[in-house]
Amino acid sequence: MDTAKLKETAAQLVANHKGLLAMDESTATANKRFSEAGIAQTQAMREAYRHLIITTPGLGDSISGAILYDETIRQKTPEGASFVALVEKAGILPGIKLDLGAKSIPFFPGEKITEGLDGLRERIAEYVAMGARFAKWRAVITIGDGIPTSTSIELNAQVLARYAALCQEGGLVPVVEPEVLMDGTHSLERCFEVTERTHHAVFDQLSKQGVLFEGMLLKPNMVLAALDCPEQPGVEEVADATVSCLLRTVPAAVPGVVFLSGGQTGGLASARLNAMNVRFRARLPWAVTFSYARAIQQPAMDIWKGEAANVPAAQKALEHRARMNRAARAGEYTADMETVAD
């Protein structure tokens, strides 16, 4: 394991108040988002959309790393430039989604385990040869009646640690994503309890399997009330609960915490991230930043609508959301910045 290189890459991903852009939707998820936005669900459209993203002027000022999907990391422009080269040209490190999706766990209704370990060592070597520097694996934990069980938390923690160890062996910084889902009606307190249990299990397994904390990033959910919970906490309450939970569970040796947005609006995802950095600035042992997909991409996708003429406006919207989140990472975000024309 090249410890120095892993540490350097992990530190680079969270330096200068930047964060990650997740643009690694599986084909099924990308098509679902396209269908909701009225865009044709074709390979050509996915390619055009991702080309729009990676050629957005100024994106590298706010984004340190872009997580790509297998289809994208292999794509080239008609002129023959690889998408990886375009990402690098923008000053952004290329990353790759390694998991192959979450499947039902037999005999544990409503719970899922993420697949993709078979052949992973070889896939990592192939992606490293293509230029990938870091990777992502998403595990999902669902809150519901009697769930999550400790079995599903343990299984997902073991698999996340297997993935992380294989990444580090092969030279990729693992972004470890145990996502406690926002679906349902549960309270913020319930999300806190499940997120805490999950992080304890994940770091226990990472430690048992020899993962270098300095050479990884954690991609957690914020501690939130579920989308359909009648009592929605304020921005500061979310920031306090989230940071309290992380301080209890995430070793100080981990260089960065990069949140997923999980269905929050772009504005809320920025405001909550900002509140964490404002309220806890001096007490945070790790960089607290973002690895959003929807909270950065959604306005751009809605503007684009699959039309070439809309590319400049869509790119402007994308760059704006990326910049808002960099400001939030610095604790300098205000709602006024959303309305100021720039």
Which residue, 8 or 183, has its beta carbon nearer to ligand 13P? 183
Of 1, 58, 7, the residue nearest 217 (C-alpha) = 7
Cβ burial, residue 150 (10 Å; 0-12/13-18/19+)? exposed
Q: How many residues bind ligand 13P (CB under 6 A)?
A: 10
Which residue, 7 or 30, has its beta carbon nearer to ligand 13P? 30
Could you give the residue ranges of the DSSP H alpha helices within the chain? 3-13, 27-36, 43-54, 70-73, 83-89, 120-130, 150-170, 188-208, 235-249, 266-280, 294-304, 311-329, 336-339
Give the residues across from 66 on adjacent strands: 21, 94
Q: Output the smallest distance, CB 5 to ligand 13P, in A.
A: 24
Q: Output the smallest distance, CB 276 to ligand 13P, in A.
A: 16
Decide: is 260 part of the binding site for ligand 13P (CB under 6 A).
Answer: yes
Decide: is 66 part of the binding site for ligand 13P (CB under 6 A).
Answer: no
Which residue, 52 or 293, has its beta carbon nearer to ligand 13P? 293
CA–CA separation, 190 vs 251, rounded Å?
A: 22
CA–CA separation, 138 vs 115, rounded Å?
A: 10
Set 7, 18, 136, 219: catalytic member: 219
Contacting range for ligand 13P; rule: CB under 6 A; set: 30-38, 119-127, 260-268, 311-319: 260-268
Decide: is 294 part of the binding site for ligand 13P (CB under 6 A).
Answer: yes
319 has catalytic annotation? no
- How does 299-333 read in b/e, with b if 16+ C-beta sit within 10 Å? bbbebbebeeebbeebbbbbbbbbbbbbbbbbbeb
Among 138, 323, 326, 329, binds ligand 13P (CB under 6 A): 138
Which residue, 158 or 264, has its beta carbon nearer to ligand 13P? 264
7 has catalytic annotation? no
Which residue, 7 or 39, has its beta carbon nearer to ligand 13P? 39
Decide: is 293 part of the binding site for ligand 13P (CB under 6 A).
Answer: yes
What tokens does 232 get? 């929605």
Among 10, 14, 21, 22, binds ligand 13P (CB under 6 A): 22
CA–CA separation, 73 vs 24, rounded Å?
A: 10
Decide: is 286 part of the binding site for ligand 13P (CB under 6 A).
Answer: no
Which positions are annotated as active-site residues? 177, 219
| Interacting residues with ligand 13P (CB under 6 A) | 22, 138, 177, 260-262, 292-295
